[in-house]
Structure formats: C-alpha cells, structure tokens
Amino acid sequence: ELQLVQSGGGVVQPGGSLRLSCVDSRSTFSSYWMTWVRQVPGKGLVWVARVSNDGGNTKYADSVRGRFTISRDNAKSTLFLQMKSLRVEDTAVYYCARTIYYSSSDNWFDSWGQGALVTVSS
C-alpha cells in the first residue's frame, strides 16, 4: 500500500519552473523529517534536499541550492519541491521519502513515494 502519493511531474522548458507535491496518507506526517531523492533514467539515486518535521530546517545538494525550495504543509500532510531555473540535467524521476532522522549526518529513508518524472527539454 502506497502511503506517499506524488503529483506534479511533467515537461518544462529550460529555465522554467515546476512544483512537485507528496501527500502522506498517515496521521504521523508532522513527526517526520522528509527528503527528496532523484534518479536520472538509467542512473543511480541522488539525494536532493531535506526538511525538518516543523519545516524550519532545510538542507540542499550543491547542484540545486538556490534553485529548488523544499517545504511542507503539516496541516495537509503534504511535502513540496519548488523547482526554478530548471536545467536539462535536472531531468529525472523525483521521489519523496519519509526520513528517520537519527542525527544531522545519520538519516535513512523508510517509506518512499512512487516517483514523478520531470523532463526539462526545449
């Protein structure tokens, strides 16, 4: 049973914007940190961004910092990834993942969304 349901993928031109959403069907969303991970088709997984359970603490990969914004609405059990100034190399399947935060450097991802394909192309 899929407990993280994603939406918002699509095709966008270079320089464009897109927002991904991830809704958690469980009642515990506000207790967990959350993470976005992406996968270029045919390649491996890459960590993108993380947000604390209250939304006050965020961390980004160097490749997206300043262009992507991770946020959440705990009242709606929803995680977001706002992507701006998109590049061809941002083309990937994006996954949201519930994060077990043991420490700032010790996280694992115990529940994942089904993925959303973002294609950046002219």
Partner 1 sequence: QSVLTQPPSVSGAPGQRVTISCTGSGSNIGAGYNVNWYQHLSGTAPKLVIFDNNSRPSGVPDRFSGSRSGGSASLAITGLQAEDEADYYCQSYDSTLNTFLFGAGTKVTVL
Residues that bind partner 1 (CB under 8 A): 2, 4, 35, 37, 43-47, 50, 61-62, 95, 97, 100, 102, 105-115
Give start and end residues of each alpha helix (H) in 1-122: none
> Cα–Cα distance between 84 and 91 in angstroms, integer?
13
Q: Which is nearer to partner 1, 75 or 110 (CB)?
A: 110
Nearest to 63 by CA among 79, 86, 43: 86
110 vs 122, which CB is nearer to partner 1? 110
CB of residue 99 to partner 1, shortest distance in Å: 10
CB of 16 to partner 1, least distance (A): 25
Q: Residue 97 Cβ, how far from partner 1 at the closest point, in Å? A: 8
CA-wise closest residue to 14 among 95, 92, 91: 91
User: What is the DSSP code string of 89-114?
Assistant: GG-EEEEEEEEEEEETTEEEEEEE--
Least CB distance to partner 1 at residue 20 (A): 15
Choose between 16 and 23: whose C-beta lies nearer to partner 1.
Answer: 23
